[in-house]
Amino acid sequence: MTTVQTRQEMAEANRRRYEELRAAGQETTPKGLPDATPLNGAPIAPNAVISREQVPAGWYTTVRLRRGEALRIVDDSGRASVALIGWREEDTSERINCADTVKVQWSAAISKGRVLLSDMGRVFLSLVEDTSGAHDLLVGGSTPGSTRAAFGAATRNTHENFLAAAAKIGLGLRDIPPCVTFFAPVSLDANGRFLWTAGRKHPGDFVDLRAEMSLVLVLSNCAHPLDPARPAAADPITFIRHRAAPPAPDDPCRTTSPEIVRAFEFTDRLYA
């Protein structure tokens, strides 16, 4: 009887702890996140710019970011979406992990003040500026099959872009993780079905991603599988690599929750 009671007490204690963590992650933490960046906000000083590139629709680019640098991604027309994957430069067996990003932050919604995690529990990228908050961690990028179903013919797509980019740096299919897609206003309805809310996209939307490790990123400018626009958007995306300001002690990306504080401590030890 004592053993049964002890098991019940342990189960109840674990459940209470779970509910406390869930409430903190889904209720308290979001209230403390910073407001979205204004469309005309956060100008980049000219002397901070390292490089600038415009990628046409359907194509991709590979960007190497040093720890402390940032990448601004700009949806100039408000009609494009950008899928991103990446690896730690020194050891490409460590890669971006969308599932852990959702799990550790108790949310599939990412916006200013949130982070993207690696599969080793370290912080990959921080969203230090974001005008949109309309990004997708769940659906993934386009494939030959999805483009054929949407447009009647297989067109340039994110899956093949990722394969081509990975091959150029000595990686292959097994090295490609699930992607995060920026400027993809995906949400869920009450029945768990995916929705596309086009009204959340605006010309000039941008996001600044600060590298918390030295990274190799691949970014694909292809239509999202759920984007209902026909024909698909044929608009370029602008990428600006720049030097980011050092994070302040109260940097919201580094202080949103105890879990994220620990993830940053683990990351910083790598570069101590």
Helix and strand element counts for the chain (H, E): 7, 13
Quote the pLDDT of residue 99: 97
Domain ranges of the chain: 32-270
Three-state DSSP class for residue 46: helix
Q: What is the pLDDT of residues 90-145, one digit of tens each?
A: 999 999 999 999 999 999 999 999 999 999 999 999 999 999 999 999 999 999 99
Q: What's the DSSP call for residue 24?
A: I
Q: Is the pLDDT of residue 1 over 60?
A: no
Q: What span, in angstroms and rounded, lies between the C-alpha atoms of 107 and 104?
A: 8
Of 179, 48, 51, the C-alpha closest to 124 is: 179
Q: In sequence order, which ranges of the chain are alpha helices (DSSP H)?
A: 2-23, 29-31, 98-105, 144-151, 158-168, 252-255, 258-270
User: At 131, phi and psi to the nearest 5?
Assistant: -90, -15
In this predicted model, what pLDDT tens digit does every residue of 197-245 receive, in sequence order? 999 999 999 999 999 999 999 999 999 999 999 888 889 999 999 999 9
The arithmetic mean of pLDDT across residues 177-194, rounded, is 94
157: helix, strand or coil: coil
- pLDDT at residue 4 tops 80: no
29 or 132: whose pLDDT is higher?
Answer: 132
Distance CA 191, CA 45 (A): 46
More confident residue, 192 or 21: 192
Q: What is the pTM of this model?
A: 0.93
